[in-house]
Structure 1
Amino acid sequence: MTKSALVQNTANSSLWSLTITWQPTATQVGIQVFCAVASDSASVQSDQYCVTFSVGLTSVPFCPGATVTTTYEDLS
């Protein structure tokens, strides 16, 4: 799993984003859950959010991947 640098939104300076990339191995076939929490510079944390997805043995050409976007504004 890799994580990109944190990038500030140019249209709204209170919004930030990053990209997380993961390529599963054959031993990770089946239902997977990814959970994350955002935190701001004052260490205020968001609620945890989770994404559940299924990993298959072969790629699915009609579903090349999806972007999941969750936005939290700076609460401090």
Structure 2
Amino acid sequence: MVDREEVFVVLSGGVTARLEGAEHRLVTGDALIVPPHTPFALGNPHDEPAELVAVLPVGGQAIMQGMEPFVPPWAR
């Protein structure tokens, strides 16, 4: 999870997103908005690669169980 809102936009291919216990199938052109402090997961169950853009405000931190919070490279 992250401490600020994060947005993912699918540029090509497709992914499956799990957000608050619900599964969402995303394809090219779809966007997913993840609220702060909300557990989520992204996966690609397809044979073809998927390309996404992730947008997280500068300084946003990722929070993972058993790890210290850290700033992902795309939020620097």
Q: TM-score, normalised by structure 1?
A: 0.25
Q: TM-score, normalised by structure 2?
A: 0.25
Larger Rg: 1
Which structure: greater strand fraction? 2
Higher relative contact order (CA 8 A, sep 6+): 2
